[in-house]
A and B are shown apart, each in its own frame.
Chain A
């Protein structure tokens, strides 16, 4: 439009330039004429405004089509040519390489996806979700999040009391390999692994994606969808149709805990379990290859539940981080997210397990000697600006108290335990003062707590893995009541106690025995070399009217750059989501050899993959990444999996492959075995 206006102006200028002093009279005539002309022009302009709009749209459309045509006519291999021209020839993908070595599909493969990576689709919904039948609500393009956010949140939430479907809404997991091959278009999860397995002959009949509704507690997936029964039947079928060859199970992230639950479930007698008998696992499973498994939980889950911050990587990437982090335009995004995630029982399966014994007390933690500086510098120099060694040495001297998973204020996080004054919050009275009407319709449990309760929480100052549970019970009583029936976080004193037959203990490796399957192998495969959240510095939110009253204190930062404290978060070695301790401890110590957790002596192997960021942009998410989700595209990991699927044992792979200090740290943990 501005273009038009400008043109008009220039025309007038021109006409005025033409005007001559000598012919003023005629100029008047001329002016009239011009007026007439302008009238005509105006008519034309009206006509041409719409027309030029059409014209413009037409132009855009044609160009678009032309480009589309070119794109479609382009051979599919061009991007690869371009990449190869820039970076030199790419290495063979592991599938091709191993196919040349003569490896062939042997054992059927079962994938168990983790939290948030599986797709969910709508089967029945409220009015506002019309036309979305069997469309993906979770995974895929997430188009609906933007189109009708409140409707979406409503459909993704579960019932606050039962942890099952709210009335009138049925959202179900997508079945089949498509469930979790891509999380969003172009963001692979299992797709690379599937493609490589297909190279050596795997196909749909020998690969099975055990998709489940990751929002539910593990036992509820069986209650509502009979998912565990279906997995059992599918594994049995695959073993039967593949000539009795046992399956190789590959769980990822929370899938690790889910499969742990499955192994106990399948051997338990019928009403509560699957009734498979005590040798089911021995008969059907060759190996369990856990990828990035949070066996002992992840501290991230605590901050997620506590204040909806730093949630799992996939969520943060899907929902625009800018919207999520800031409290813009009164959308109360975080509150909505918190309300939704607190109805998901599964998030509670990842609260740190084992309490102070594993995660450390106020003054002690297994990782205490960990030096953040040089490690970070070596692995990921883009994140940490260069700094001199003296400072990092300084950091090494003052070791971090990782045991304090949540501390209020930076000083508290560092002070010696004897110097911290703590007021017990457990008896604190919950007021009602916060329930004011300005908070719109978003309701979170913090509003029930009252200012007194919040103050009491902050006054307790420091929380370790043990007291974290009390804290969560205090701030989210409803959720934890549901969680208490489904999950347990302790350490068993006597595993033969009949109470451990209850399903709530099945997903906690410290309260169950592994099944009797001496030929089975358990692998722990995870990335190392990325700073991973381990403990948090919190602060009270000053504008606590409507918001979540606690926030990570992002200003808390150590002056010396080599420190582990960054933006209110203490980090240790890990894969960006799961600390090494949680991913590796069970295989490194608790299950190693014949212990009380592993009575039949199942062999365990640790395979660590050192993180190397992608060299350039064209490489995408990298073939040597160690990050929690990106590790699924790590060539070394894929090669290991293919070898095992083709029949290799752990020894043939090369046994343990360790880069981190996991053995040293495991030694420090004083757990009766």
Chain B
């Protein structure tokens, strides 16, 4: 305190010079201002200590830096507080009426209990048992909320989040468990809402703990393993039964989001299957307990994003990318190997495999054909110029001046991964065919050197030659992508194979389809016998969404373990569908329309072999409208994959159904995209 006083005094002696000279130093200090407060405070202290010597030479100058620094900080803080205060008062006037209070005035009351099923990466995880490095974190969140721990001890954090790479369950000595209750996924990080808006609005019409439940599960595990390890499915079943009873025998409305829709599909089959493998609820269980399933942003047929994710850990899910600083993630800091670490961790998560595109070439298109082929990127692109300009990842050179340029040949979306831009455009006859059986996986150990830290990825086991072979001008469709993944990540796929399947069933009555690995694939299961049940597909449209990738082979590098990378240099005039190595189609930023809407639009429409009892399906699309002003936060009419949970139209739909309305009363289908046309092009036997 004494030094402060002294400091104050000196500054006072020469105020005039201070104001003129200080301004120059102000600029330099501004930058350090924003940096860690502690670090700059250290500077202050060191200057304080070295003071007497310097004072003799230039008596006043050094003091001014500190003074101006403090002044700046104080000034910024004060204005910040003032603004905060102002916005606190202003926000009261600005908020439009929430759908909850609107519907409450209409007289809606809580009727059907509601079950929320969160998606991947959204639910919180907490530590129950850990290694010594995680001391003091007992029952603290490792995933979601503030993520402070991953900055403080990143390696420890990664170690605790990964699973055993052989069993896909806990590694020995580590127990990380999902957070239970509504708190598990209401906010992902402070201020980044997920379910909060929906919960708040539901509460307005009378929902509370007894008729609102969050079905949390460990999203890293494969679906069946959540039952094996945590009995999550049994708990969900018991919870639904309980809510059904205590709310006067009213059926529940289930609201799954993202991967939750696959999880709940799995649950539907599990609960009716006989006891050792399933829940033993009997064939009438769903009909008795479930009124409607309102899938938000469902990815019934998987997402292409998952492929690039597994292959090279790039283009991770939106929430993931937002959490980790994108700069750290994308650039290859020497020695940090962030991507390698993430790959190593995320490859132990079985649930990732549930997101690989399903249905193969029938759904996703082959070398020359794809259901979206007539999709016109220009119009969508123009429409969403505004939307995507705020998005860093879509930053392209808009000033190309060829907005109206129309290509004759359409984009070959079916080639989900192509190595080199040329390969993505060549006619199929010029492409080399390729058989993975030719490749030998051996002879790889030459690469294992110790100088690169101890990050180990499965790529190290592959020989350089075979990697080259994989990459040379090759194109992979939704079917061959599985072979590719088998090749580059054999361990992971071996585990996955026991839990997930990605094909199309020929004969659904085949007894093999009673195995649980087929339960989360809508193309290999029948919907349950529940004719009164309704299935909704609620998703956003109007945002460019990743559909296929142009890859490149990286030059051999000892310390770079991932040999492939998205070729972000490609882009340009191909009808704007290709930007920085990624072909875009319509969707909600994560899930293409095809994956979200096809099952409701065609695969389950009417009475067919996937839907033998004629459960009615409805499609509700929500067009994206980015927030107009800053005050609106993430937008009341946004339709991107996560932000859609704050979309007022969607919330209103859900609340109406929860209060007893059916799909027809909502207004039936509401479609903006070409989903019907696309679905018609898909030649799937129904």
Does A57 lie at the interface of the complex (its beta carbon under 8 Å from any beta carbon of B)? yes
Q: How far is the CA of A21 from the CA of B128 in the complex (A)?
A: 85
Contact status of A172 and B209, CB under 8 A, knowing A124-B204, A133-B200, A241-B234 = yes
Is A205 in contact with B208, judged by CB distance below 8 angstroms?
no
Nearest-neighbour CB distance to chain B for A69, whole angstroms, equals 3
Q: Which residues of A lie under 8 Å from residue B456 when comparing CB positions?
A: none
Nearest-neighbour CB distance to chain A for B511, whole angstroms, equals 28
B:132-182 near A, CB below 8 Å: 135-136, 138-139, 148, 152, 175, 177-178, 180-182
Nearest-neighbour CB distance to chain B for A455, whole angstroms, equals 47
Within the complex, which residue of B128, B199, B200, B230 is in contact with A198, where a contact is CB–CB below 8 Å?
A: B128
Nearest-neighbour CB distance to chain B for A58, whole angstroms, equals 3
Within the complex, which residue of B9, B70, B152, B231 is in contact with A241, where a contact is CB–CB below 8 Å?
A: B231
Chain B window 281-304, contacts with chain A (Cβ cutoff 8 Å), 1 for yes, 0 for no: 000000000000000000000000
Q: Which residues of A lie under 8 Å from residue B8 when comparing CB positions?
A: 3, 52, 55
Q: Which residues of B lie under 8 Å from residue A201 when comparing CB positions?
A: 129
Nearest-neighbour CB distance to chain B for A96, whole angstroms, equals 12
Nearest-neighbour CB distance to chain B for A524, whole angstroms, equals 29
Does B23 lie at the interface of the complex (its beta carbon under 8 Å from any beta carbon of A)? no
Is A68 in contact with B128, judged by CB distance below 8 angstroms?
no
Is B12 in contact with A226, judged by CB distance below 8 angstroms?
no
Q: Which residues of A lie under 8 Å from residue B38 when comparing CB positions?
A: 65-66, 68-70, 73
Within the complex, which residue of B200, B206, B210 is in contact with A230, where a contact is CB–CB below 8 Å?
A: B210
Within the complex, which residue of A51, A173, A175, A194 is in contact with B71, where a contact is CB–CB below 8 Å?
A: A51
Q: Which residues of B lie under 8 Å from residue A384 when comparing CB positions?
A: none
Is A205 in contact with B230, judged by CB distance below 8 angstroms?
yes
Is B72 in contact with A65, judged by CB distance below 8 angstroms?
no
Is A133 in contact with B152, judged by CB distance below 8 angstroms?
no
Is B230 in contact with A229, judged by CB distance below 8 angstroms?
no
Does A225 lie at the interface of the complex (its beta carbon under 8 Å from any beta carbon of B)? yes
Does A134 lie at the interface of the complex (its beta carbon under 8 Å from any beta carbon of B)? yes
Does A240 lie at the interface of the complex (its beta carbon under 8 Å from any beta carbon of B)? yes
Is B135 in contact with A230, judged by CB distance below 8 angstroms?
no
Contact status of A77 and B181, CB under 8 A, knowing A7-B12, A69-B39, A241-B235 = no
Contact status of A61 and B37, CB under 8 A, knowing A203-B175, A204-B177, A229-B242 = yes
Q: How far is the CA of A394 from the CA of B57 in the complex (A)?
A: 83
Contact status of A62 and B231, CB under 8 A, knowing A54-B78, A55-B74 = no
* Least CB separation from B216: chain A residue: A204
Q: Which residues of A lie under 8 Å from residue B204 when comparing CB positions?
A: 124
Q: Which residues of B lie under 8 Å from residue A544 when comparing CB positions?
A: none
Nearest-neighbour CB distance to chain A for B96, whole angstroms, equals 16
* Least CB separation from B247: chain A residue: A226
Nearest-neighbour CB distance to chain A for B456, whole angstroms, equals 28
- Name which of B40-48, B514-522, B585-593 contacts chain A: B40-48
Contact status of A58 and B72, CB under 8 A, knowing A66-B42, A172-B208, A195-B138 = yes
Considering only CB atoms and an 8 Å cut-off, how many residues of chain A contact the other chain?
57
Q: How far is the CA of A199 from the CA of B173 in the complex (A)?
A: 11
Chain A window 46-60, contacts with chain B (Cβ cutoff 8 Å), 1 for yes, 0 for no: 011001111111110
Chain B interface size range: 35 or more
Nearest-neighbour CB distance to chain A for B347, whole angstroms, equals 25
Is A66 in contact with B181, judged by CB distance below 8 angstroms?
no
Q: Which residues of B lie under 8 Å from residue A56 when comparing CB positions?
A: 70, 74
Chain A window 1-21, contacts with chain B (Cβ cutoff 8 Å), 1 for yes, 0 for no: 001000100000000000000
Is B246 in contact with A198, judged by CB distance below 8 angstroms?
no
Q: Which residues of B lie under 8 Å from residue A123 when comparing CB positions?
A: 203, 208-209
Contact status of A133 and B203, CB under 8 A, knowing A57-B73, A65-B38 = yes
Is A65 in contact with B209, judged by CB distance below 8 angstroms?
no
Q: Which residues of B lie under 8 Å from residue A133 when comparing CB positions?
A: 200, 203
Q: How far is the CA of A63 from the CA of B70 in the complex (A)?
A: 10
Does A501 lie at the interface of the complex (its beta carbon under 8 Å from any beta carbon of B)? no
Is A62 in contact with B44, judged by CB distance below 8 angstroms?
yes
A:210-248 near B, CB below 8 Å: 225-226, 229-230, 233-234, 236-237, 240-241
Does A76 lie at the interface of the complex (its beta carbon under 8 Å from any beta carbon of B)? yes
Q: Which residues of A lie under 8 Å from residue B186 when comparing CB positions?
A: 134
Nearest-neighbour CB distance to chain B for A208, whole angstroms, equals 10
| Main SS at interface, chain B | helix
Most-contacted residue by chain B among A54, A62, A133, A199 (CB, 10 A): A62
Q: Which residues of B lie under 8 Å from residue A176 when comparing CB positions?
A: 180-181, 183
* Least CB separation from A241: chain B residue: B231
Is A225 in contact with B209, judged by CB distance below 8 angstroms?
yes
Nearest-neighbour CB distance to chain A for B38, whole angstroms, equals 3
Nearest-neighbour CB distance to chain A for B136, whole angstroms, equals 4
Nearest-neighbour CB distance to chain B for A181, whole angstroms, equals 8
Q: Which residues of B lie under 8 Å from residue A69 when comparing CB positions?
A: 36-39, 41
Is B75 in contact with A77, judged by CB distance below 8 angstroms?
no
Q: Which residues of B lie under 8 Å from residue A203 when comparing CB positions?
A: 128, 175, 177
Q: How far is the CA of A614 from the CA of B111 in the complex (A)?
A: 53
Q: Which residues of B lie under 8 Å from residue A198 when comparing CB positions?
A: 128-129, 138-139
Is B74 in contact with A53, judged by CB distance below 8 angstroms?
yes
Does B318 lie at the interface of the complex (its beta carbon under 8 Å from any beta carbon of A)? no
Q: How far is the CA of A269 from the CA of B10 in the complex (A)?
A: 85
Is B41 in contact with A62, judged by CB distance below 8 angstroms?
yes
Most-contacted residue by chain A among B42, B45, B148, B203 (CB, 10 A): B203
Q: How far is the CA of A241 from the CA of B514 in the complex (A)?
A: 23
Q: Which residues of B lie under 8 Å from residue A72 when comparing CB positions?
A: 148, 152
Q: Which residues of A lie under 8 Å from residue B242 when comparing CB positions?
A: 229-230, 233
Q: Which residues of B lie under 8 Å from residue A100 when comparing CB positions?
A: none
Nearest-neighbour CB distance to chain B for A127, whole angstroms, equals 11
Is B129 in contact with A65, judged by CB distance below 8 angstroms?
no
Does A440 lie at the interface of the complex (its beta carbon under 8 Å from any beta carbon of B)? no
* Least CB separation from A66: chain B residue: B41
Q: How far is the CA of A52 from the CA of B180 in the complex (A)?
A: 50
Is B74 in contact with A54, judged by CB distance below 8 angstroms?
yes
Is A134 in contact with B199, judged by CB distance below 8 angstroms?
yes
Q: Which residues of B lie under 8 Å from residue A205 when comparing CB positions?
A: 230-231, 235
Q: Mind listing 7 A-B residue pairs with CB under 8 Å?
A: A61-B73, A172-B209, A173-B209, A175-B182, A203-B128, A229-B245, A237-B238
The list of the 9 closest CB pairs from A to B, nearest first, reads A69-B38, A65-B37, A58-B74, A66-B41, A58-B73, A54-B74, A57-B74, A58-B70, A76-B136
Which residues of B come within 8 Å of A, CB atoms?
4-5, 8-9, 11-12, 15-16, 19, 36-42, 44-45, 67, 69-75, 77-78, 128-129, 135-136, 138-139, 148, 152, 175, 177-178, 180-183, 186, 199-200, 203-204, 206, 208-210, 230-231, 234-235, 238, 241-242, 245-246
14 additional A-B pairs beyond A59-B73, A134-B182, beta carbons within 8 Å, are A3-B5, A48-B15, A57-B73, A57-B77, A58-B70, A58-B73, A66-B45, A69-B36, A77-B136, A123-B208, A124-B204, A178-B183, A198-B129, A240-B234
Which residues of A come within 8 Å of B, CB atoms?
3, 7, 44, 47-48, 51-59, 61-66, 68-70, 72-73, 76-77, 123-124, 133-134, 170, 172-173, 175-178, 181, 194-195, 198-199, 201, 203-205, 225-226, 229-230, 233-234, 236-237, 240-241
